[in-house]
Amino acid sequence: MTTTDKRLHLRFVALAIGMFAIGTDSFVVAGILPSIAKDLDTDVPTTAELITAYALAYAILSPVVATVAAQVSRKVLLIGGLLVFIAGNIGTGLAPNFEVAMTFRVVAALGGAMFTPTSAGAVVALAGPEKRATALSILFGGLSAATALGSPIGTAISGVTDWRGTMMFVAAVGAVAMVAVLIGLPAVPRPPAVTFKQRVSPLADARITLTLLLLLVAYTGLFTLYTYISQVFAPATDGKGTTLAWLLFAWGVAAVVGNMFAGRLTDKFGNRVVINTAGVIAVIVFATAFWTSRHQVAAFIAVMIWGACGWAMLVPIQHRLVGANPAASQLSISLSSSANYIGVSLAPVVGGFLLDDVVSLNHLGFPAAGIIVLGLLIGELSHLLIRRSQAEPADGKEGASASTPSLAERR
């Protein structure tokens, strides 16, 4: 590796640390919900709305920030985003009541919405075409590491101190990232301005809208159970924070592995096979959670399969978005991030409703599995529309590539 390569890698690592902080913030609250609820004098389903506030605000604000701040220096936007993110987490950790905590979760989400899309654009601009894939893998490696390390570390810290200590830990990681970006990142060229209307224009294509809806619905189901993981699997963990941290670590490691192999499997078998196989296995895991949650060994096996399958669905869904309309692929993939976070934001609301009026905590896996099945059915409809459009003769706009899909796209 040349000196220039090493310098580039260090710049990407600086941004990856920021992704680690933001990813940790996204996942860690689920592991400390009971602690927050007790301290703020609310019940767990109400406290889960903190996850909804963060995820929904992030989903809505990401395209808005990208449009409004199009002419702002990329480095200024990155550092500003981390400052807002740090303030949001410190404010959450110091919140005297639930309402204040909710407000600061939105502030933290604003910081994430400023940082994440900007960092992806920055690595693409700095790396150049020949190193783009490596740069993106380093950047999103920070997000994967958050599922494997950030969330369980934060949960363990909560067991030693309290949930407020966890939020300060997240803010501290954000501060490390800010210093790294401030020192190590050079000026980044601004991308061409894209209007808000252009950003959401792919939604006019039913193939893309249905694929995004598959992502939204499936991840609502996947995170309905994850939101209440500390309670659902309490019999297996004996309510111990340390055991729960190890359970989250197992989930995170499996998620990283699932994400790593998803691309290779999609290239070999096609996105439909990978999406449906991973989804069906996740449904089986959720349907048997009433039993696996009572036994520690079974619980660890279940969450590892769940983590691997859940995260293995992301890559083939993005692959389907690209294949549906290659000309709009970048805008479609950016919308997939919002769809993902909207799904995550709906999960606590859906879970809270189900626990209030439909099922007991021990049987939450059943309706969550049903939601995933609904997502897979929507995905089948998107697949049929894509197949139909690719079977039609080229209309002169998309060219031959639209009528001659690759083997993976046909699958």
Q: What pLDDT does 144 receive?
A: 73
210 and 177 in a common domain: no
Q: What pLDDT does 366 receive?
A: 96
173 and 54 in a common domain: yes
Domain that holds residue 281: 200-411
Could you tell me the pLDDT band of residue 402, with boundaries at 50, 70 and 90? very low
pLDDT averaged over every residue in the chain: 86
373 and 260 in a common domain: yes
Q: What pLDDT does 256 receive?
A: 84
- Candidates 229, 314, 313, 256; CA nearest to 279 is 313
- Radius of gyration of the chain measured on its C-alpha atoms: 21
In terms of pLDDT, which residue wins out, 281 or 141?
281
Cα–Cα distance for residue pair 183/244, rounded to 1 Å: 37
What one-letter code names the amino acid at 376?
L
Residue 395 burial (C-beta neighbours within 10 Å; 0-12, 13-18, 19+): exposed
146-153 average pLDDT score: 84
109-134 average pLDDT score: 77
Q: Backbone phi, then psi, for 48, in 5-degree steps?
A: -60, -15
Tokens 């019940």 locate to 43
Could you tell me the pLDDT band of residue 410, with boundaries at 50, 70 and 90? very low
Tell whether the model's pLDDT for residue 132 goes beyond 70: no
Tell whether the model's pLDDT for residue 298 goes beyond 90: yes
* DSSP secondary structure letters along 320-354: HHHHH-GGGHHHHHHHHHHHHHHHHHHHHHHHHHH
Tell whether the model's pLDDT for residue 398 goes beyond 70: no
137 and 188 in a common domain: yes
Which uninterrupted H or E stretch holds 135?
helix 132-145
pTM of the model: 0.80
- Counted domains in the chain: 2
342 and 304 in a common domain: yes
43 and 104 in a common domain: yes
410 and 385 in a common domain: yes
Q: Cα 396 to chain center, whole Å?
A: 37
247 and 130 in a common domain: no
26-53 average pLDDT score: 91
216 and 109 in a common domain: no
Tell whether the model's pLDDT for residue 401 goes beyond 50: no
Cα–Cα distance for residue pair 165/39, rounded to 1 Å: 13
81-92 average pLDDT score: 97
What one-letter code names the amino acid at 361?
L
- End residue of a domain, out of 193, 211, 234: 193
Cα–Cα distance for residue pair 269/301, rounded to 1 Å: 25
Most confident of 136-145, 358-367, 394-403: 358-367
Could you tell me the pLDDT band of residue 102, with boundaries at 50, 70 and 90? very high
Distances (CA, A) of 319 to 116, 141, 209, 211, 383: 20, 19, 14, 10, 12
Both tokens assigned to 309: 């399958």
Both tokens assigned to 340: 């993902």
Q: What pLDDT does 397 receive?
A: 42
403 and 264 in a common domain: yes
Tell whether the model's pLDDT for residue 6 goes beyond 60: no
Say if residues 159 and 35 touch (Cβ distance below 8 Å). Answer: no
- End residue of a domain, out of 143, 166, 193: 193
245 and 163 in a common domain: no
139-145 average pLDDT score: 74
Cα–Cα distance for residue pair 301/288, rounded to 1 Å: 12
What CATH number does residue 69 fall under? 1.20.1250.20
206 and 151 in a common domain: no
- End residue of a domain, out of 163, 193, 223: 193
Q: What pLDDT does 135 receive?
A: 67
Q: What pLDDT does 383 receive?
A: 95
Tokens 């060229």 locate to 189
DSSP code, position 288: T
